[in-house]
Chains A and B, each alone.
Chain A
Amino acid sequence: MDITYDMLLGLVPPLADAPHWLLILIAAALTGVICFTFAGIGPIVYVYGERKIAGFMQDRLGPMRVGKWGLLQTIADAVKLMFKEAIFPKNVDRKLFLLAPFMVNIGAFLPFVVLPWGGRLQPADLNIGVFYIAAIASISTIGLIMAGWASNNKYALFGGMRAAAQIISYEIPALMLLLVPVMIVGSLSLQDIVTYQAGGLQNWLLFRYFPLMPIAFVAFFVAGLAECNRTPFDIPEAESELVAGFHTEYSGFFFAMFMMAEYTEMFVISAVSSVLFLGGYLAPHPALQTLGPVPLGWFWLIVKAWSLLFVMMWLRWTLPRLRVDQLMYVAWKVLVPIAFTLVIVVGGLILWPATANGFPWDRWVGWPLTLGVMSFLIMVMIRALRWNRQRAGELAA
């Protein structure tokens, strides 16, 4: 926000005479508009990406008709949803029914306040950033329950109740795992957490305490998947059981708002995981941090977050869905013990001087292994794509 503040003063010098609170207000509003534009346009990109990825995975093309390669398809869909009639079924609790999509969106959007996109490129550097994210993200749960209850529909009720149970259960391991990087860094501010990881790939928190932090990362990512209701944890909107879960009765723009919230939440989870474990806006090598005079922090954060988004979509189109009790089993009997153990073990290691900053082998083990696994996965994908194309050619011949 201080950047917008400075820019305001630089671009419009007379504003320096205006009262301070007005300046702050304008700067905050400008930042909010920028973030909201990103959060609003983002889902259009993600939905297109998701449909294309699904298409490639399912041996079909995905959207192809609107625009080149179907690039405008989701824009057309968004416009269609905006002009569709929003239907309010009989006996819905109108106030709650209308309020619910907004609540969900607020919970999804507000974490943007503390997301760092660069050294100064951050709406607000709260010193309790991690805590703030954990607190504000829970608001969307209330929205989901409101939607389920107000719809006056049994499937929606089931969906809302499932969402409440699931998100509250998964918040516990997620919060415990948030603690692990916070303990290592010693600060709740996201900016501090990122700067602690400066100095290249091998300093990222993911590669500290070699087998421990990768486990923490995967466990946090799984808990995050469950918090934004993605497959294999999409039981609140399980379409084969509950039709559409909590948003069964929504149509038109309000339905679009639920979709928007879901994708924004996915982005937030991915961005927070990359800030906490993958160095946030830091480049893999310090030389790549800027391109001449242009800072590339935002680019690296987007690259990291979108790769994690891709993993989420990949999982969605591969895995079946868990049952409710199995979902609870994963939360309480797998993730919570893992999280507890990690908090205690990593906490103990930090206290011991020899391992205060990580194991001695951290510099040489973690990141080469991860890079190896990643290049293997990319190779497999490229091979699959090539094989697909070859087979398509054979079939056409």
Chain B
Amino acid sequence: MSSTGFAPPPGDTWDYDALDTDEMILQMGPQHPATHGVLRVELRTDGEVVRAARPHIGYLHRCFEKHAENVDYPGVMPYADRMDYVASMGNTLGFALAVEKLAGIETSPYVNTIRVIVAELQRIASHCVAIGTYAMDIGAFTPFLHLLRDREKILDLFEWTCGARLLYNYNWVGGMSHDLPDGFARATRDLLREFDAVTYPELVDLIITNKIFIKRLADVGVCSTELAISYDLTGPNLRGSGLARDLRKDAPYCGYENYDFEIPVGDGRFGPLGSCLDRTWVRVVEMQESSKIIHQALNRLEKMEKTDVHETVPRRVKPPKGEVYCRSEAPRGQLGYYVVSDGGVNPYRVKVKSPCFTALSVFHHMAKGMMIADVVALIGSFDIVLGEIDR
């Protein structure tokens, strides 16, 4: 076997190594259109083929965990918002749940329903960005703008609710910052009616069933179920590998056990199981499932007795001494918060288990032997947000 990868025919005395070309180090990033933020990937390329790839992270490190030790518990919320800036609601929800568990605060069903609604709306918005930018990585520009247009409508709802469009600080420890405005349910239903009837079919037509898209991705970046488990992939990346694991079903929080929805799983319909296409496919179907959940939650919300969303918000969050690990299903996977309290106003230690970080950890393993274009497709299929990896 020569280093070119082809076995020489029998009786061949040619020195194949003499044909070997030089390897070139290609620094992809930190400023590169396809690395989804400031990721630097060091590629050792032989022509178009990547022999080895090493991701370098840390360009967006903002000391979230150290900052969290120096502010009080409600003060951590804005910092948590800024971790995964594409899906802020999920971050703050996770931290709120962790502190509530630590302090023993029980939120009302009304607050829980609001949390479900905003979290699922955020999931749709986040997947819109994920799939849109992914389509752009593959070279189709139009779906990106269509999806951002639809995300915009969700952001309008959020703006109406809490005044912010990107970093909301909406989930508080023990409640929400504002109640939902009057008419929110109707506006959301209007949005979902359009989403179900227009956006979703359009999305499926434009990208997912496009033949070039399928040919590009169906057998690229195959992550077997074992590999996914051994590298601790979570969320859509894990489900794309064929394993139906979702914290909303397995360890429900906020009353997710009362909703009727499916866990979409990659089925490898066009190629091997766990390919880039499967991961994207899972995200697409998940958007529809989120829409289902929101419909149910809105019905429940309208019948529910309204309570004050600040009812269980403590004057001063001062959990007893102890530690807690709380995880929730953010749009990108399991987001875990490990919070240690020494009984004071500030957390003693906060550690985040980030889904994107584990997803990126398998990258070097899968990028070996790929083509450069596929490396871009692989990075995009993990749907990483560097803000959350570096924190």
Contact = CB atoms under 8 A, between A and B. Distances in A.
Contact of A324 (B33, B48, B139): B48
B293 to A, nearest CB: 26
Contacts of B34: 240-241
Given A319-B212, A324-B371, A326-B216, A240 B142 contact: no
B231 interface: no
Interface string B198-224: 000000000100101101100000000
B52 interface: no
Contacts of B374: 323
Nearest to A240: B34
A320 B145 contact: no
A320 B371 contact: no
A317 interface: yes
Interface in A298-343: 317-326
Interface residues of B, number: 28
A126 B24 CA distance: 47
A320 B140 contact: yes
B239 to A, nearest CB: 23
Nearest to B215: A326
Contact of A321 (B32, B139, B145): B139
Given A60-B145, A324-B371, A319 B376 contact: no
Interface string B112-144: 000000000000000000000001111111100
A238 B371 CA distance: 14
Interface in B1-52: 24, 26, 32-34, 48
Main secondary structure of the interface of B (DSSP, over half): helix
A323 B216 contact: yes
Contact of B33 (A240, A321, A326): A240
B373 interface: yes
Nearest to A239: B33
Interface stretch (A167-175, A212-220, A228-236, A366-374): A228-236
Contact of B149 (A59, A238, A321): A59
A240 B26 contact: no
A322 B210 CA distance: 12
Contacts of B141: 54, 58, 317
A242 B374 CA distance: 12
Given A232-B212, A239-B33, A240-B33, A323 B142 contact: no
Given A59-B145, A323-B216, A324-B371, A243 B26 contact: no
Contacts of A158: 26, 48, 372
Contact of B140 (A155, A318, A324): A318
Interface residues of A, number: 28
A325 B371 contact: yes
A241 B377 CA distance: 9
Nearest to B153: A395
A319 B140 contact: yes
Interface in B63-92: none
A81 interface: no
A53 to B, nearest CB: 11
Given A154-B26, A243-B32, A326-B216, A317 B142 contact: yes
Residue of A235, A240, A320, A324 contacting most chain B CB atoms (<10 Å)? A320
B146 interface: yes
Residue of A154, A240, A321 contacting most chain B CB atoms (<10 Å)? A240
Given A231-B139, A320-B213, A323-B216, A241 B372 contact: yes
Contact of A243 (B33, B140, B371): B33
Nearest to A232: B212
Contact of B373 (A59, A241, A318): A241
Contact of A320 (B24, B212, B372): B212
A57 interface: yes
Nearest to A324: B48
Interface in B129-178: 135-142, 145-146, 149
Contacts of B212: 232, 319-322
A235 B216 CA distance: 13
For the complex of A and B, 10 pairs with smallest distance between CB atoms: A321-B139, A58-B145, A320-B140, A240-B34, A320-B138, A320-B139, A240-B137, A323-B373, A320-B212, A317-B142
9 contacts: A58-B145, A59-B149, A231-B139, A240-B376, A318-B142, A320-B140, A322-B216, A326-B215, A326-B216
Interface of B: 24, 26, 32-34, 48, 135-142, 145-146, 149, 207, 210, 212-213, 215-216, 371-374, 376
